[in-house]
Amino acid sequence: MSHESQIKVNFDNEPYRNEEFVVNYKAPFNAEPRPERLVQSFITPIEHFYVRNHAPVPVINPDTYMLKIDGLVENPVLLSLNDIKTKFEKITITAHLQCAGNRRTMMSEHKKVKGVGWGIASLSNGTWSGCRLRDVLMYARAMPFESGAHHACFWGLDFGCPEDNGKSYGSSITMEKALDPTGDVLLVYEMNGQTLPRDHGFPLRVVAPGIIGARSVKWLDKITVSSTESESFFQRRDYKIFHNGIDWDNVEKNWDNHPSLQELSVQSAICVPAPNSRLFLPFTLYGYATAGGGRKIERVDISLDGGQTWDLAELMGENKGPCSRYWAWTLFRYTIKSIDSKVAKKINIVCRAWDSASNTQPKFVGDIWNLRGVMNNCWHNVEVTVDPLCSKF
């Protein structure tokens, strides 16, 4: 019996969840919305926002809650939730969060990987309100980079993570990101204009936009400024990408010489139609595109012949002009008006996105396969049957 299976945790106080969710793991709860839900609105309703948990959801009294700031700071502090709300300016941003394992199932179909199986919907877009992490760290008088203050390490209150001997979840980001005035890292207490729900980190969580969701720690307990990244299992022994020559027989000697994932790669997927649909012309397809590091999605290409020829999709996203702070996703649509056939025909619809740094998606999943199944951003395709002889009107 593995050590993970011997850890006993209590899931009796879990919050209510939407019954529409595609549940990928029940306890701890990991679920994604149906893909068509993602493209119904630019801001994902809370009831359809994907959930990624590593342990039972903690029950936290907001009246007695305290956040600890320690480590390489001149003024270690304890802050109540009221302190967070009243001592620091309230900021609201729009940002998508995305699990590094998004589209893992597709990668596992190419060659088996280890991890929760996610489809194309382990991401969502929301509005987040709270104070800047930068302001809190400056309040605690974080030491300068030259003194060794290189990482902001976060610890949650979700004790019982089986991967890490029952400890709580932990992760970290660089102090460069944490202190960047344009980095928009927030300590969040409101989501979509409402009190932060339990599944999403009540009463306080980190939202670090532009990087993998694993760094946006929920149920925040402590922030430690450190010369090294978090000692947590989830920073040192998870969420890393390896070449395909590394497997479970030799990975142990490779964990420490590979960097922990931070920024997201460029990504897109078709949410409507579903694979194997029968379409009646004309028909409009819908999907999402995302980029990391605040980069803007510049275009999404659509192919109706498996990637031989391409056309441009219509983008539906923010337009901030020459700005490097595009944290939200971009939705796209493309109308199929006709096909070169007089009978029903199977076609392979493909999408690929490009960001403002001219990054695009690789064609083949095999080129980016890795044993943890993370950062799968190869071209996304759906095969459908199009009937040109019958209109849906």
157-172 pLDDT, tens digit per residue, is 999 999 999 999 999 9
Q: Given pLDDT bands bounded at 50, 70 and 90, which one contains residue 4?
A: very low
Q: How confident is the model at residue 320 (pLDDT cuts 50, 70, 90)?
A: confident
pLDDT score for 388: 78
Instruction: Name the nearest CA neighbour of 234 among 157, 155, 169, 285.
Output: 169
CA 13, 15, 16, 22 dihedral sign is: negative
Provide the CA 173 distance to its chain's centre, in angstroms: 15
5 band by pLDDT with thresholds 50, 70 and 90: very low
Residue 370 tokens, joined: 């890795």
- For residues 57 and 219, give the distance between their C-alpha atoms in angstroms, rounded to a whole number: 9
pLDDT higher than 50, residue 292: yes
With a pLDDT cut of 90, the percent of the chain lying above it is 91
Question: Which residue do the tokens 């992760």 mark?
Answer: 171
- Of 122-131, 187-196, 384-393, least confident by mean pLDDT is 384-393
**Residues 6+ positions from 108 with CB-CB distance below 8 Å:** 117, 373
Q: How far is CA 52 from CA 23, 28, 33, 105, in A?
A: 11, 8, 12, 15
CA atoms within 13 A on the CB side of 88: 25
| Cβ neighbour number for residue 240 with a 10 Å cutoff | 23
8-42 pLDDT per residue, tens = 789 999 999 999 999 999 999 999 999 999 999 99
Mean local confidence (pLDDT), 307-329: 92
Give this prediction's pTM. Answer: 0.95
Q: Which amino acid, 336?
A: I
Name the burial class of residue 249, with classes exposed (0-12), middle (13-18) and buried (19+) by CB atoms within 10 angstroms of its CB: exposed
Asked, as a colleague might, if the bond just before 28 is cis with ω within 30 of 0, I would say yes
Instruction: Please check the confidence at residue 392 and state whether its pLDDT lies above 90.
Output: no
CA distance 289 to 350: 13
CATH (one of 2.40.33.10, 3.90.70.10, 2.60.40.650, 3.40.640.10) for 267-387: 2.60.40.650
* 3-class state of residue 190 by DSSP: strand
Q: Does 263 have pLDDT greater than 60?
A: yes
Q: Do domains 3-257 and 267-387 have the same CATH topology?
A: no
Q: Is the pLDDT of residue 1 over 50?
A: no
Question: For 3-257, CATH number?
Answer: 3.90.420.10
Long-range contacts of the stretch 87-92 (C-beta < 8 A, 24+): 87/131, 87/139, 88/131, 88/132, 88/135, 88/136, 88/139, 89/131, 89/132, 89/135, 90/129, 90/130, 90/131, 91/129, 91/130, 91/131, 91/132, 91/184, 91/186, 92/127, 92/128, 92/129, 92/190
Annotated domain spans of the chain? 3-257, 267-387
Q: What is the pLDDT of residues 341-374, one digit of tens each?
A: 878 899 999 999 999 999 999 999 999 999 999 9
Which SS3 state, helix, strand or coil, does residue 32 take?
A: strand
